[in-house]
Amino acid sequence: MPWLVVVTFLATLGIGLALMYAFAQTESAEVAQRLVRLWQGGLRRTEPRFPTRQKQRVERALAELGKAVPASGPSVSRIQLLLLRAGYRSPQALLVFRGIRLLLPGAFLALVYFTHIYENNPVFILPLAAVGGYLLPEFWVTRKVRRRQHRLQLALPDGLDLMVISMEAGLGLDQAILRVAQELKTAHPILSEELQLVNMEMQLGKSRLEALRALATRTGLEDIKALVAMLIQTDRFGTSLAQSLRVFSDDLRTKRRQRAEEMAAKTTVKMVPPLVFFIFPALMVVILGPGVIAIVRQLFPMIGH
């Protein structure tokens, strides 16, 4: 039954590519649509492109599938927070995630069944495929969260420097946040997006403290949590915000340099396993191989006598 194996493999590959495409960021497509609207003067409403329509259809199908999954309180809030920190803020993001979590175990079970991989150890392989399909979406979202937090961590010192310059030029904290968000759109779009959300929340009626606390919760980054705590404490005691931000920025750059030095110090330890298991055996074969061959050629005639 080779055709069943081929069909199952192609179906699983298609599902995986569709899911990756559904979650892929389409910033370039959105920018292109905005440029078209500006070029046409906003008089005509452009229809979404074919890839965008297909993505929307996949999202709707997964959302409908996700509605069939029963949801419990703590797990839903944890997954929703993960999706929020990964940058997925659509109202349907949680339903799409639940739909993927329901679909992947079945796809993995079908793959191992029709490819007869399960015949080697059915008791172990079938549950492993189901559990792997269930845990893979959460693992992927967690990886996206870490990558986003790493980019925020790299962008934060530059944003703080611009904020210090803006405040020393006479702007208040709210105007400085808006100015930094506008200036960092190209260099650090993720930090710019987060600061724009803070500004929008304050415009919609949230207090500055609530918007800053929401920023710390939304990002989950320790440096941003420390920044928010410092801003709240500075605002409460009435000290200079510009001076506090300058001190915090210097401290943050020191921490970033220390992290780089720590990573550089770890490279020698990380190089030991490749050296021991891959490079040293090859060197031993090249260096000692001819000598061992010569010794064996000399010893075997003596052993034969």
Q: How confident is the model at residue 15 (pLDDT cuts 50, 70, 90)?
A: low
CA atoms within 13 A on the CB side of 193: 15
pLDDT band at 38 (very low <50, low <70, confident <90, very high): low
CA–CA separation, 33 vs 27, rounded Å? 10
3-state helix, strand, coil in the chain (%, to 5): 85, 0, 15
Identify the residue with better confidence: 221 or 12: 221
Query: Is residue 72 pLDDT above 70, yes or no?
Result: no
Query: How much is the pTM?
Result: 0.72
For the chain, domains (ranges, CATH) are 2-115 (no CATH), 150-267 (1.20.81)
Q: From CA 280, how far away is CA 282, in angstroms rounded? A: 5
What is the rounded average pLDDT of the residues 127-132? 88
Q: Which of 256, 199, 200, 247 is nearest to 223 (CA)?
A: 256
Q: What is the mean pLDDT of the chain?
A: 81
For residue 43, the model assigns a pLDDT of 42
Q: E strands of the chain, at which residues? A: none
Q: Say yes or no to pLDDT of 5 above 60.
A: no
H or E element: which one contains 24?
Answer: none
pLDDT value at 20 more than 80: no
Q: What pLDDT was estimated at residue 304?
A: 45
Tell how many helices (H) and how many strands (E) occur in the chain.
13, 0
What's the CA angle centered on 63, arms 60 and 65, to 5 degrees? 110
Report the alpha-carbon distance of residue 121 to residue 113 in Å, rounded: 12
**Using CA atoms, how far apart are residues 192 and 181, in angstroms rounded to an integer?**
4
Q: What is the pLDDT of residues 197-248, one digit of tens each?
A: 999 999 888 888 899 999 999 999 999 999 889 888 887 888 888 888 888 8
Using pLDDT thresholds of 50, 70 and 90, give the confidence band for residue 3: low
What tokens were used for 11?
């179906």
Least confident of 69-73, 74-78, 208-212: 69-73
Percent of the chain residues past pLDDT 70, beyond the cut: 80
**What's the pLDDT score for residue 25?**
47
Q: What is the mean pLDDT of residues 166-191?
A: 90
- How large is the average pLDDT for residues 10-24? 59
| Paired tokens of 141 | 């979202």
pLDDT per residue as tens digits for the range 233-291: 887 888 888 888 888 888 888 888 888 899 888 888 888 888 888 888 888 888 888 88
Q: What H or E segment, with its residue span, contains residue 264?
A: helix 241-270
pLDDT value of residue 243: 87
